[in-house]
Amino acid sequence: MKLIFEKSVQGRRCSILPTCDVPPTEMPSSLKRETAPMLPQMSETDVSRHYTELCKHVHGVNCGFYPLGSCTMKYNPRIDEEMASLPGFTSIHPLAPESSVAGCIEVLETAKKYLCEITGMDGMTFQPAAGAHGEFTGVLLIKQYHDSRGDQKRTKIIVPDSAHGTNPATAAMCGYQVVNIPSAPDGCVDLNALRAVLGEDTAGLMLTNPNTVGIFDENIPEITRLVHEAGGLCYYDGANLNAVMGVVRPGDMGFDCVHLNLHKTFATPHGGGGPGAGAVGCKSFLVPFLPHSALMEEEGHLQVRSFMGNFLVVVRALTYLLTLGREGISEAAKNAVLNANYLMARIKGTFTPAFDRICMHEFVLDLSEYKKATGVSALDVAKSLIDYGMHPPTMYFPLIVHEALMLEPTETESKETLDWAAEVFRTLYELGYKDPGYMHEAPHAAQIGRPDEVKAARTPVLRYTRS
């Protein structure tokens, strides 16, 4: 389809401005731009049709099944959006006097109270704008803690190889040396490998739990004990909290701080680049290092974003918490885990799970044997799923599994959808043996065929230029 710029017709427009009823004032020439902005000129009908056409080119949770592992593409209740659209929340100004935004402050305080209860933490900030930003903030808390004690020798952060890819990046951004440790064959942290790297230079450990292969690490009490014994702190990557919320709490497992992806776990539509909220919770001894907020007037605090962060994401999260309630939150987690295990069990006779054991909210298929037998890769299967109206799972991640497909069905899918998805996987599994060539060229029924991903990465065209 044509870009909106290519549909532009000189002089066409959507609105006719009323006659100016105040005396015109000439703008200083220093403020005037020298070339006209390149804006498309279109009628309202054309704009409406353009965006409706674009809708047909995308796949959202409202279009169909979206088992994109690690991303929790669940359905977000409409009421959360309704509450976030209330004028009392949308028409405020960050510099408004506190007395005029008491309701908004109550939202922040209430959400903080509930989320601290869910995570087992004592304090929280909503300033970080996304998950990785939350990690960055959390590890800075650890750094400030060690600095405040004059403990300068702690230069290393330990990150298991089953962590989210952002964990090592976060540690490096905070100036730490990243120490990778391997997983044991059961997908959990290898305790001997952990013991071998712990020492006086350990600043902390970042644990993604459940980890990227969808496994709840069974050795957590021992892991956090060992790290604390070495003088380090324990960071819980809570991006996968969807699997455990209302059931177990990072604070009870020995973790000192945690980040949550409010946009992912607590009902803000995501995947389009934001806005998100990477709330960071911590134990009381780290609270003094939390970022500055309007309610903490002291000077010298860390500030990672302006004002209170993305406030409307917190409004959605609070609505979600209030509508589900204490029982609903844990039921959502249990259903997420049940759905993942059900789908894994249904697929198991065909594609092979990387770890054949009870999983949490997601699981990983290992297609390396299948590829050897048929020549059909994980990429080919992923592209073929598009023809069935299913969003492909996450591909080639985590890196510790070859030819990986990572599926996260989420709690908002019905048994019928999961049965259908399992049937689609079975059909494709058999097709790979019969007609691998067809799968190499998939998708066949989508808006476009298979793009040249190598060319797109090597010579990307990132913006429209008028030819």
Partner 1 sequence: MTINPDLQYTKSHEWIRMDGDIAVIGISDFAQDALGDLVFVNLPEIGDNVTAGESFGDVESVKAVSDLISPVTGTVCEINEELLDAPEMLNNDPYGAWIIKVNNIDGAEDLLDPAAYEEHCASEA
Can you read off the two tokens belonging to residue 159?
A: 């990150």
**Which one of the spans 4-12, 259-267, 423-431, 449-457 is the region binding partner 1 (CB under 8 A)?**
449-457
Length of the chain: 467
Kindly indicate which of the ranges 86-94, 192-200, 317-325, 395-403 contains the residues binding partner 1, using the contact rule CB under 8 A: 395-403
Task: Choose the stretch contacting partner 1; rule: CB under 8 A; options: 34-42, 97-105, 152-160, 451-459.
Answer: 451-459
Distance (Å, whole) CA 250 – CA 317? 19
CA torsion 452-68-256-133 (nearest 10°) is 40
Q: Which range, of 47-55, 261-269, 341-349, 396-404, touches partner 1 by CB under 8 A? A: 396-404
* Residue 395 beta carbon to partner 1: minimum distance, rounded to whole angstroms: 8
Residue written as token pair 């009902």: 267
- Beta carbon nearer to partner 1, 22 or 457: 457
Task: For residue 407, give every residue at least 6 positions away whose Cβ sits within 8 Å of its Cβ, in sequence order, or none.
Answer: 67, 69, 340, 343, 344, 347, 362, 363, 364, 365, 393
The minimum distance between CB 111 and partner 1, in angstroms, equals 35
- For 68, 393, 407, the CA distances from 454, given in Å and listed in that order, are 22, 20, 25
Label each residue of 367-390 as H, E or C: CHHHHHHHCCCHHHHHHHHHCCCC
- Choices 70-78, 257-265, 416-424, 452-460 (CB under 8 A): range interacting with partner 1: 452-460
The span from the CA of 128 to the CA of 205, in Å, is 20
Q: How far is the CB of 379 from partner 1 (least distance, A)?
A: 8
Is residue 453 a contact residue for partner 1 (CB under 8 A)? yes
Q: CB nearer to partner 1: give 95 or 457.
A: 457
Least CB distance to partner 1 at residue 70 (A): 14
Residue 427 falls in which region: left (phi positive, over 0), alpha (psi -120 to 50) or beta: alpha
Is residue 399 within the footprint of partner 1 (CB under 8 A)?
A: yes
Grouping H, G, I as helix, E, B as strand and the rest as coil, residue 159 is strand
Of 110-118, 196-204, 389-397, 431-439, the window that binds partner 1 (rule: CB under 8 A) is 389-397
Amino acid at 438: Y
Give the nearer residue to partner 1 in terms of CB position, either 180 or 303. 180
Nearer to partner 1, 49 or 402 (CB): 402
Token pair belonging to 253: 């497992």
List the one residue out of 406, 380, 144 whose CA is nearest residue 285: 144
| Amino acid residing at 125 | T
Min dist. Cβ of residue 454 to partner 1 (A): 4
Least distance (Å) between residue 157 CB and partner 1: 15
Q: Check residue 454 for interaction with partner 1 (CB under 8 A).
A: yes
Closest by CA to 68, choosing from 386, 436, 444, is 386
Binding residues for partner 1 restricted to 270-289, rule: CB under 8 A: none
Percent of the chain that is helix, strand, coil (3-state, to 5): 40, 10, 50
Is residue 448 part of the contact set for partner 1 (CB under 8 A)?
no
Interacting residue with partner 1 among 17, 36, 457, 462 (CB under 8 A): 457
Stretch binding partner 1 (CB under 8 A), from 51-59, 289-297, 394-402, 434-442: 394-402
Q: Left if phi > 0, otherwise alpha if psi is -120 to 50, otherwise beta: which for 273?
A: left
Token duo for residue 262: 């409010």
Measured CA to CA, the distance from residue 262 to residue 314 in angstroms comes to 7
| CA–CA dist 26, 274 (Å, integer) | 38
The verdict on 318 binding partner 1 (CB under 8 A) reads: no
Query: Of 119 and 166, which CB lies nearer to partner 1 in the complex structure?
Result: 166
Q: Which of 388, 396, 420, 438 binds partner 1 (CB under 8 A)?
A: 396
Compute the least distance from the CB of residue 121 to partner 1, in Å. Answer: 32
Among 5, 89, 342, 397, binds partner 1 (CB under 8 A): 397
Give the integer Cα–Cα distance in Å for 175 and 107: 35
- Residue of 32, 93, 458, 466 interacting with partner 1 (CB under 8 A): 458
Under the binding rule (CB under 8 A), the answer on residue 395 touching partner 1 is yes
The count of residues interacting with partner 1 (CB under 8 A) is 8
- The structure tokens listed for 22 are 């105040």
Instruction: Determine contact, residues 280/137, Cβ cutoff 8 Å.
Output: yes
22 vs 454, beta carbon nearer partner 1: 454
Q: Is 405 in the site for partner 1 (CB under 8 A)?
A: no
For position 185 contacting partner 1 by CB under 8 A, the verdict is: no
Q: Which stretch binds partner 1 (CB under 8 A): 191-199, 271-279, 289-297, 390-398?
A: 390-398
The answer to whether the beta carbons of residues 59 and 66 sit under 8 Å apart is: yes
* Interacting residue ranges for partner 1, rule: CB under 8 A: 395-397, 399, 453-454, 457-458
